[in-house]
């Protein structure tokens, strides 16, 4: 099975999220922005420490140890991700998550 995240995957997830955002489907866009965020974090973890997390719990542990700023961001925003399962997400919240993703992409030079 092939599960290694590459920059192209990250940028494709982001492009799809942006398309949904423009269509005003903020819940679906937010889900894809989080998928993009997780992909960025998994990519960075694999590149920097040679490890890719198998689930959210492992991602949290690795980020806390090696990338505390990314951990803090994810920890603060994870409840919004959980909300996407059962709630409608509005433009303001989606835009906030979008900005976080764009900052992470810029910070880790994913392009």
Confidence bin at 1 (pLDDT 50/70/90): very low
Predicted pLDDT of residue 3:
53
Residue-wise pLDDT tens digits, 69-110: 999 999 999 999 999 999 999 999 999 999 999 999 999 999
Q: Which residues neighbour 6 within 8 Å (Cβ) at sequence distance 6 or greater?
A: 43
Q: Is residue 85 part of a domain?
A: yes
- Provide the residue range defining the domain that includes 87: 7-107
Count of domains in the chain? 1
Q: Which residues neighbour 70 within 8 Å (Cβ) at sequence distance 6 or greater?
A: 41, 44, 63, 104
Q: Is residue 1 part of a domain?
A: no
Q: Residue 2 — φ and ψ, nearest 5°? A: -105, 115
Burial class (CB in 10 A: 0-12, 13-18, 19+), 17: buried
Q: Is residue 24 part of a domain?
A: yes
């Amino acid at each position: 099975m092939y599960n290694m995240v590459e920059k192209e995957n990250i940028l494709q997830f982001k492009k799809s999220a942006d398309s949904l955002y423009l269509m005003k489907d903020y819940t679906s866009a937010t889900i894809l922005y989080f998928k993009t965020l997780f992909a960025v974090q998994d990519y960075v973890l694999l590149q920097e420490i040679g490890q890719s997390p198998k689930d959210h719990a492992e991602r949290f542990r690795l980020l806390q140890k090696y990338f505390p700023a990314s951990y803090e961001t994810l920890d603060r925003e994870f409840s919004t991700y959980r909300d996407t399962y059962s709630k409608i997400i509005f433009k303001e919240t989606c835009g906030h998550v979008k900005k976080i993703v764009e900052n992470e992409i810029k910070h880790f030079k994913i392009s």
